[in-house]
Amino acid sequence: MTAILDKEKILEDIEKLSLEEQLELIERLLRHIRVKKLINKGCYNWNTLYGLGKNLWEEDAQELY
């Protein structure tokens, strides 16, 4: 029962995010799912990894710390 309540709370929180933040969340979730799927498969298809880190280069390391 708590899992359902947790999901509802998460969905409510997501609705409070801006459109840009929601899109970023979707991208991160898709990356996470794709990597997990590859790990569970036991093999890596490098073509499916293409573009997974594209947003990493957009962050300025100096601003993070």
pLDDT digits (tens, 9 = 90+) for 7-37: 999 999 999 999 999 999 999 999 899 888 8
Q: Which is it for the CA torsion 7, 13, 15, 21, positive or negative?
A: negative
Percent of the chain exceeding pLDDT 90 equals 38
Q: Which residue has the higher pLDDT, 63 or 13?
A: 13
- What is this structure's pTM? 0.54
Residues near 35 by Cβ (< 8 Å), separated by ≥ 6? 52
